[in-house]
Chain A
């Protein structure tokens, strides 16, 4: 079984500070998407369970430097190969552009049985890219996977819905997106990190995929990127501890913070 996992490199959001209500984005370190690591882990487990399989990680970015560490990390986790789509035009793309790029890359890779995504990225969390790729490729898709087993018509997938769990099966090839409860991603060992650089890695440009930069241009324009102005509620609770506690519970209920 050939499994392709799409991974995204984000800015480490915790490192961003706000200056004059605007985020300072200079020199912010990069970080591999949290759910993408769950997707990689799921792929590795599936590979090892099925046997005769390989895991290819696929990523798109405007520069090699941006994704270097991510690729090293997921290869060190145990993925077999990496394919990087690197093109300066990807600097200002959007979910649709990324999906088009990934779909074209998957077609170039040619043989794939499963394509895994995290259900959303650690920064935008739009959850669009997986479903868009499935549509572009015209293959079945199952979102929010909490368990994946090879079998049935192809794969058996438990989906985590808010109130219930749904079990579906899909023929291959298929696109799946995973939720964090599916597994605990492994932490790569130092030796595996050392060796990760020696694993086969391909780098393609948009031209290699037959894509025009216009095909990935964003259809959205960012007008403003200001931090929300936060205002305190200034609710003072009076009385003894019991009264204050009751008041606090009421206030939290009223704000919809608890008891939804």
Chain B
């Protein structure tokens, strides 16, 4: 089962407001590692056609691994508001 299908099994209550914002400037200018691309267990980060880093925040498991692994403070990352985000049924 691919990662998208796995995420499809979880309950996500999706906010209109994003809870992760990428400072693409920083990614492009100073980051050579792009750890977010491979550390995220939900595989949410992608480089788009324009070569910019993007994130599908809707499938976020809220582990914070991207935030901790980013050395350049390129992420504005906070928890989703109450009533939103992943809701684990088992945990």
Which residues of A are interface residues toward B (Cβ below 8 A)? 14-15, 17
Contacts and interface: CB of A to CB of B under 8 A. Distances in A.
A45 to B, nearest CB: 22
A17 B89 contact: yes
Contacts of A15: 11, 87, 89
Given A15-B89, A17-B9, 4 more contacts: A14-B13, A14-B87, A15-B11, A15-B87
Nearest to A29: B87
Interface of B: 9, 11, 13, 87, 89
A15 B10 CA distance: 9
Contacts of B11: 14-15
A15 B89 CA distance: 7
Nearest to A28: B89
Contacts of B9: 17
A17 B89 CA distance: 10
8 contacts: A14-B11, A14-B13, A14-B87, A15-B11, A15-B87, A15-B89, A17-B9, A17-B89
A15 B91 CA distance: 13
A14 B13 CA distance: 8
A15 B13 CA distance: 10
B9 to A, nearest CB: 8
A37 B13 CA distance: 19
B15 to A, nearest CB: 14
Contacts of B87: 14-15
Contacts of B89: 15, 17
B41 to A, nearest CB: 21
A99 B13 CA distance: 32
A112 B70 CA distance: 60
Contacts of A14: 11, 13, 87
Contacts of B13: 14
A17 B9 CA distance: 9
A14 B12 CA distance: 9
A15 B1 CA distance: 21
A17 B11 CA distance: 9
Nearest to B83: A187
B10 to A, nearest CB: 10
Contacts of A17: 9, 89
